[in-house]
Amino acid sequence: MHAELAEVAPDPHVRGALLRCAQESLANVRKHACASAVTVVLTRRPDAVELEVTDDGRGFVVADARGFGINGMRQRLAELGGDLTVTSSVGDGTRILAEIPIPEGGQR
C-alpha cells in the first residue's frame, strides 16, 4: 500500500467522514478486489478536501454494485455537501474519490 497524505485540518465531522470512507474503501479492496497494489491520497484543494483510493484489482461493474458500503459512503458525504465518484471496470481496478467542500480558512 502507498499513501500520500496532505496536512488537512478540517472539523471533526469531515475527518470522521473521510476516515469512514477510507476504512470502507480499504475493506472493499481486501474483501473483493484481489489487488496487489492500493494507493490512498488525501489532498487539500482551495475549496475542498479529496480522498482518493485506487487499486489494481479485478474491478466490477459499478451499476451492478449491491450492498451498503458505497451507498453509506455516498450518504455520509452528502450530509456534508460532498460527493462520491466510483470508477471501475472488470479487470481494470477501482478508483474511489470522496470530495467534501471546505470553506476558505479550512474549517467547516
Tell whether the model's pLDDT for residue 107 goes beyond 80: no
Quick one: which of 16, 96, 91, 101 has its CA closest to 52?
A: 96
Residue 34 backbone zone (phi > 0: left; psi -120 to 50: alpha; other: beta): left
The superfamily (CATH) of domain 2-90 is: Histidine kinase-like ATPase, C-terminal domain (3.30.565.10)
Question: pTM of the entire structure?
Answer: 0.90
Q: What is the pLDDT confidence band of residue 93, given thresholds at 50, 70 and 90?
A: very high
Residue boundaries of the structural domains of the chain: 2-90
Asked if 84 and 74 touch (Cβ cutoff 8 Å), the reply is yes
Separation of CA 73 from chain center:
8
37-85: per-residue pLDDT in tens? 999 999 999 999 999 999 999 999 998 887 789 999 999 999 999 999 9
- 69: enclosing H helix or E strand: helix 69-78
